[in-house]
Amino acid sequence: MATSSRVHLTTSPNAAFSLPGISTESAEKASELLQKNHENFHIFFNFKGFHNHIVHHLLTLFALKATPDELQKGYNNNASYQRPQEPLEKEIVEDMQDPANYRKYLGKEKYYHDFVAFFQGEIDKKGWQAVLNEYVFKGDERADDMLVRMFAGFLHPLIHLGFGVEFEQPVIIAEALAQAAVHGDWIGQLFYGAEKDPKTTDGGSGKSIVQLLEEIRADKELSAAAHYDDDNKIRNGILKRAPEQMLKYARQYHVSEGDLEKKVAEMINAAAYFTGAAQNPPHQVKMDFFHMHCINSSIFFSSFLKQPWLSTPNKIRLLEWKVRGDLALYAACGCAKLLVDEITNYKPSHGVDAPWDDVFERARKFPDDGHVSKFIRALANGDKVCRKWEGEEGFMIKGDMWRLLAHMVIDAVEAGMPHWVRNAGMTKAWEEVPLRDSGKL
């Protein structure tokens, strides 16, 4: 049984997307390796805030029916450079019990292990669903602060939480809460600002995400607000040089209870669209590393949607924040021109009829920290979720485009360095990307 301190996976995970036929041996191996990661490693692998992705990688490989050997290789590829866990300080964990003192430890990575222990204790007493409702979704000052931190670090705490909820692993949820607690809260400026009288301020126009992407790109002030040499292009670019312009568009995105399911699908579709279509011919096809986190995190909203313990208003708020963050990240990466023909006309390296299974196998074997396999699984989920809405406004990715986009991803990384571009809307991002062979996409 999965607990706040023990990982236990089953062969039939209640996942948003998983392949049938997961073996008992794979479930046991994944559980063993995730437990080792939990006990031995910090959530950052260095002191610069670079994230430990072992949980993300292993759970994705597991869902894609990895063998025990493939799981072990995935773990070995990343365990060697991880940072050891900090010693637990029990007096700090006890001090966190006082709400007045809890706050003084926020945003400080050295307290990650202490926060893990604190949230493990809370989960043991209350259950993980109640803890999430209290510490993230209650709507009071403490919970709102934690919700903001979930979206920090290019969505990594939210992704970690998504894995914990999707695979029903309380120990992963405790890690996610602790991870959020040691991140910053600066992006709250965007989310709180967008919620300030949104309908009266900007009319509540109900525009599609694709419409808003187009308007952001056409906005000369906002599209030029982020500079290539900005350390953080949302914080030091968009929210410094054009905050009101960004809020103008963020406030125009709204979700109602009646269209929640469709809006989740639209978000998934739009994230796949602006990530896949942000190409720069005649350079080789490459995906933007930052855009990619928008699609990789999208899969978890299929799971959040199904949670009976999470209220509909909180599901709506979570989705609105996600889309507003996606819009800001698109602007921060230079507002790349979106070329849908790059997807529809793509010729996979393994042939135009190469199936999904070909992509899944290559993703399981690709030696990285999990970004590629997460991308592929998120696209497979999008293919499933968005079929119901094909042909509707704002759904640019449809039919076989999902499979073609998955082939673009795996082909791009297998083609060699650089595996990704960063800030695809900026010319400088493509300087190291080779040109395509003549006559090939």
Mean pLDDT of 36-64: 97
End residue of a domain, out of 133, 160, 185: 185
Is there a single domain that holds both residue 224 and residue 109?
no
Is the same domain home to 209 and 299?
yes
For residue 117, give its domain range: 90-185
- Please tell me whether residues 28 and 66 are part of one structural domain: yes
Residue 438 lies in a domain: no
Number of C-alpha atoms within 13 angstroms, CB side, residue 278? 33
- Whether the per-residue pLDDT at 169 is higher than 50: the answer is yes
| Whole-number pLDDT of residue 281 | 97
Residue 202 has pLDDT above 60, yes or no: no
Point out the domain boundary residue: 48, 79, 110.
Answer: 79
Does residue 25 carry a pLDDT above 60? yes
Structure tokens at 317: 């708020």
In this structure, are 205 and 179 located in the same domain?
no
Q: Confirm whether 13 is domain-assigned.
A: no
Q: Is the dihedral of CA 146, 151, 152, 156 positive or negative?
A: positive
Residues 249 and 280 placed together within one structural domain of the fold: yes
Looking at the structure, tell me whether residues 161 and 200 fall in a common domain. Answer: no
Residue 18 lies in a domain: no
4, 128 Cβ separation under 8 angstroms? yes
Burial class (CB in 10 A: 0-12, 13-18, 19+), 90: exposed
Q: Which tens digits make up the pLDDT trace of 111-152?
A: 999 999 999 999 999 999 999 999 999 999 999 999 999 999
pLDDT in tens, 87-102: 999 999 999 999 999 9
Indicate whether 127 and 158 sit together in one domain: yes
Checking if the pLDDT of 441 tops 60, the result is no
**Same domain, yes or no: 349 and 374:** yes
Is 223 domain-assigned?
yes
pLDDT in tens, 263-283: 999 999 999 999 999 999 999
Going from the C-alpha of 202 to that of each of 188, 208, 326, the distances in angstroms are 20, 15, 19
Distances (CA, A) of 327 to 19, 209, 222, 245, 251: 31, 8, 11, 12, 11
Name the pLDDT band for 199 (thresholds 50, 70, 90).
Answer: low
Residues 45 and 180 in one domain: no
Residue 382 near residue 272, CB atoms below 8 Å = yes
Tokens of 112: 């990650």
- In angstroms, what CA-CA distances link 205 with 45, 174, 249, 305, 339? 43, 38, 10, 24, 26
Find the mean pLDDT for residues 9-30: 96
Q: How many domains does the chain have?
A: 3
Query: What are the pLDDT digits (tens) for 223-236?
Result: 999 999 999 999 99
Residue 180: the pLDDT is 98
**Residue 232 CB coordination number (10 Å):** 16
Structural domain includes residue 383: yes
- Claim to verify: residue 138 and residue 178 sit in the same structural domain: yes
* Residue 417, number of CB atoms within 10 A of its CB: 9
Name residues whose C-beta falls within 8 Å of residue 171's C-beta, 6 or more positions apart in sequence: 2, 3, 4, 5, 6, 7, 38, 120, 164
**Taking Cα atoms as reference points, which of 439, 310, 434, 302 lies closest to residue 380?**
302
pLDDT in tens, 395-416: 999 999 999 999 999 999 999 9
Is there a domain that residue 119 lies in?
Answer: yes
Q: How confident is the model at residue 439 (pLDDT cuts 50, 70, 90)?
A: very low
Asked whether residue 438 carries a pLDDT value surpassing 60, the answer given is no
Q: Confirm whether 256 is domain-assigned.
A: yes
325 and 395 in a single domain? The answer is yes
For 335-389, what is each residue's pLDDT tens digit? 999 999 999 999 999 999 999 999 999 999 999 999 999 999 999 999 999 999 9
- Answer whether residue 320 is part of any domain: yes
* pLDDT given at position 197: 62
Query: Is the domain of 399 the same as that of 304?
Result: yes
What is the per-residue pLDDT for 203? 41
Single out the residue in 152, 185, 218 at which a domain terminates.
185
Q: What percent of the chain has pLDDT over 70?
A: 97
Q: Which sign does the torsion angle of CA 415, 420, 425, 426 carry? A: negative
Pick from 274, 374, 276, 391: nearest CA to 323: 274
